[in-house]
Amino acid sequence: MSGDLAAFRERAARFLAGRLERRAPREDAAWGEGDDRISLFEEIDPEAERRTLDAARRWQRDLFDAGFGWIDGPAELGGAGLTAEHEAAFRGLLAGFESPDLRPLTVGLDIVAPAVLAHGDDELKRRVLPGLHRGELMACQLFSEPEAGSDLAAVRTAARRDGDAWVLNGHKVWTSGGHLADIGLALARTDPEASKHAGLTMFLVDMRDPGVRVEPIRQMTGGASFNEVFIGGARVPDRDRVGGPGEGWRVALTTLLGERSSLGGEGGGPLPAGFVPRLRQLVAVLPEADDPLVRRDAERALMSVDAMRLTAERYGEQERGGAGGGLNGVEGSVAKLLLVRALADTERLLTGLLGRGLVADDGSWGRFCWSEFVLGIPAFSIAGGTDDVQRNIVAERGLRLPKGAS
Ligand SMILES: Cc1cc2nc3c(=O)[nH]c(=O)nc-3n(C[C@H](O)[C@H](O)[C@H](O)COP(=O)(O)OP(=O)(O)OC[C@H]3O[C@@H](n4cnc5c(N)ncnc54)[C@H](O)[C@@H]3O)c2cc1C
């Protein structure tokens, strides 16, 4: 595919216009018209969830087949062989269209695929990466355990070598999308004698293996998008090992960087499409917004969202310009903390502005719908590493402050 950016943009714009509807600017939508639903997590029944996943898989396949599914991926693995700048240009164009929700595939695309690309052997990369990027393989992340969250290297799930395979036994928790996933990236202890970080190895587990049992966890929002996963004697062929035996911690660090940059990244991370226009419309329309304290909170929330967006864009530009940085390491933690602050400021605005309307549905349009959004906010202070953990990273690796006692 041609690397000329202008020609690429033209081709991408033609592809998108041929398949998708243009997104109507939310400011133009009349208050009270259409679906007012807005959320950070889709809370839908299992059937609708399955339909969303199928639509995501079809759209990702179309993107991949047209050369837009893995724009900066190596051509020999099915990528388009272009640059991160092309990828960003495509994302910018896509934002102008109504497109199928790709969130069910995010863990596979943004977290698992980069780890396989960086650490898998050539055979594993050829076998798994095209499927992940074409939406044929949906992946989940089997890291956290009841006794290992922030202190991830404390995982107890054990993997024992048995001929040309490994046998896994353990208990994972908070596995997003585990009930739908085809494969799971699992961190396991392969050498109980080695030091905590050295005795770990990373595997790709077949989620349909008879030794894998997935149980949903019900959330306060009513949905059940994550799970407990009980692993009892699951067999994993050695060829599905990601990185060498004992190198699991190194692989885990790659995935954690991918996760943070996905959460705090360019394009608003997990914020739903049209979020800022919806917020502006709320403040413009509701009479309660004339209260000076609410106006102050509105300014603060909108500035926080802008700070998050601009910081992510700056890191992205630095990375694409080859100036180093990018959403890696400390920058990823800063970007994720800015996302959390933007969400906290939005929550303060919504509670002040909507008051009881946020907890009691009186049937009026555009008010109670925000309760699902607000209930999703606390999750982002925890997922992908808690705020405390991100601050530790900024303090120790960014500011070079002495290590805390942990
Ligand atoms: C929406 C969501 C989706 C998730 N999806 C997945 C998934 O798909 N796969 C997966 O493996 N996991 C997933 N998780 C789990 C997530 O990674 C963990 O919840 C997170 O790492 C925190 O671990 P923990 O819950 O065990 O809390 P703990 O580690 O027990 O932390 C408890 C408290 O202690 C604080 N704390 C801990 N250590 C330190 C320290 N050194 N310094 C200062 N404070 C500290 C924490 O900040 C926190 O406030 C998900 C979580 C959420 C909320």
* DSSP string for 96-145: TEE----GGGHIIIIIIHHHHHHHS-HHHHHHHHHHHHTTS--EEEE--B
Q: What is the mean pLDDT of residues 30-55?
A: 87
Question: Given this model, what pLDDT does residue 213 score?
Answer: 98
Q: What is the pLDDT of residue 184?
A: 98
Q: Residue 116 has what pLDDT?
A: 97
- Given the CA of residue 388, which atom of ligand 1 is nearest to it? 47
pLDDT level of residue 122 (50, 70, 90 thresholds): very high
Instruction: Work out the average pLDDT over 233-238.
Output: 98
Q: Hey, which residues are catalytic here? A: 259
Is 405 near ligand 1, meaning CB less than 6 Å away?
Answer: no
Domain 40-133: CATH architecture, name and number where available: Orthogonal Bundle (1.10)
Measure the CA–CA gap between 325 and 337, rounded to whole angstroms: 17
pLDDT of amino acid 319: 75
- Who contacts 47 (Cβ-Cβ below 8 Å, separation ≥6)? none
So where are the chain's domains?
40-133, 139-246, 264-398
Give the side-chain half-sphere CA count within 13 A for 109: 22
Of 143, 145, 150, 172, the one to substitute when testing ligand 1's pocket (max ligand atoms within 8 A of C-beta) is: 150
pLDDT tens-digit map of 64-116: 999 999 999 999 999 999 998 999 899 999 989 999 989 899 999 999 999 99
CATH code for residues 139-246: 2.40.110.10
Nearest Cα neighbor of 203 from 251, 136, 271, 156 is 251
* Averaged pLDDT of the chain: 91
> pLDDT tens across 7-16, in order?
999 999 999 9
Please say if the pLDDT value at position 27 is more than 60: no
Residue minimizing CA distance to atom 50 of ligand 1: 383
* Range of weakest confidence among 152-156, 201-205, 324-328: 324-328
Say which range, 219-233, 278-292, 335-349, has the weakest mean pLDDT.
219-233
Provide the β-strand partners of residue 201: 188
Query: What SS3 state is found at 166?
Result: strand
Q: Find the mean pLDDT for residues 48-60.
A: 95
Taking CA atoms only, the protein residue closest to ligand 1 atom 43 is 388
Position 218 scores a pLDDT of 87
Between CA 106 and CA 173 the distance in angstroms is 18
**Measured between alpha carbons, how far is 149 from 187 in angstroms, rounded to an integer?**
12
Q: Which amino acid is at 301?
A: A
Atom of ligand 1 nearest to the CA of 146: 26
What integer pLDDT is reported at residue 97 of this predicted model? Answer: 92
CATH numeric code, 264-398: 1.20.140.10
Report the pLDDT value the prediction gives residue 367, as an integer from 0 to 100.
94
Pick the more confident residue, 69 or 320. Answer: 69
- How far are the Cα atoms of 134, 142, 243, 346 from residue 124, in angstroms, in the given order? 16, 19, 10, 43
Please tell me the predicted confidence (pLDDT) of residue 28: 58
